[in-house]
């Protein structure tokens, strides 16, 4: 008696590239791509998991610092381009969460892709804690929806 997931998968964050994102090589600055990925993940927490990083920290007392990030770049972005960043759950650990992001142009051309690994911590002590229940359930549901979609 299960029902279909209510969230379309993959979650895709959209962002138009602006003048201020670009550098003297006339394309988006390398470091901005991590801002884009972080904004995508924060939006996914808000829209899919149900609690964004801000409320997770300030209302629930948990932090989720990154312990690893990697990115591989295929194609430059220019102001006026629209970036579509899709998010996938790679692994749900006891205290950690591994996410994969894949960025494309509207045309579907790959721009960049990478991974972000976060751990959950107590906001005060910064000690790692098991993934809080309020995020674990929706994260696992989203991971299942992605697997179903991909199968």
State the residues that interact with its own copies by CB under 8 A: 16, 18-20, 22-27, 29-31, 34-35, 38-39, 42-43, 46, 52-55, 57-58, 63, 65-73, 76, 78-80, 123, 126
Q: Which is nearer to its own copies, 34 or 92 (CB)?
A: 34
Q: What count of residues does the chain have? A: 151
- C-alpha 72/C-alpha 75 separation (Å) is 10
CB 29 → its own copies: shortest distance, Å? 6
Q: How far is the CB of 100 from its own copies (least distance, A)?
A: 14
In whole angstroms, the minimum distance from the beta carbon of 71 to its own copies comes to 5
What is the rounded distance in angstroms from the CA atom of residue 13 to the CA atom of residue 82? Answer: 10
Q: Which is nearer to its own copies, 78 or 147 (CB)?
A: 78
CA distances from 138 to 54, 78, 114, 141 (A): 17, 35, 22, 5
Query: Which pair of structure tokens corresponds to residue 61?
Result: 């007392």
> In sequence order, what are the beta bridge partners of 108?
none
Residue 87 CB, nearest approach to its own copies (Å): 15
Q: Cα–Cα–Cα angle for 145, 150, 151, nearest 5°?
A: 100
- Output 51 or 143, the one with its CB closest to its own copies: 51
When the beta carbons of 93 and 148 are compared against its own copies, the nearer one is 93
């Amino acid at each position: 008696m299960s029902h279909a997931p209510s969230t379309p998968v993959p979650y895709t964050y959209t962002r138009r590239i602006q003048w201020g994102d670009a550098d003297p090589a006339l394309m988006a600055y390398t470091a901005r791509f991590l801002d884009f990925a972080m904004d995508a993940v924060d939006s996914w927490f808000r829209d899919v998991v149900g609690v964004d990083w801000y409320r997770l920290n300030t209302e629930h007392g948990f932090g989720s610092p990154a312990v690893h990030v990697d990115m591989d770049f295929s194609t430059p972005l220019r102001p006026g381009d629209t970036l579509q960043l899709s998010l996938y759950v790679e692994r749900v650990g006891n205290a950690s969460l591994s996410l994969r992001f894949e960025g494309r142009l509207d045309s579907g051309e790959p721009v960049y892709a990478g991974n972000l690994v976060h751990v959950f911590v107590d906001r005060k002590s910064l000690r790692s804690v098991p993934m809080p229940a309020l995020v674990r359930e929706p994260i696992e549901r989203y991971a299942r929806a992605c697997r179903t979609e991909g199968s």
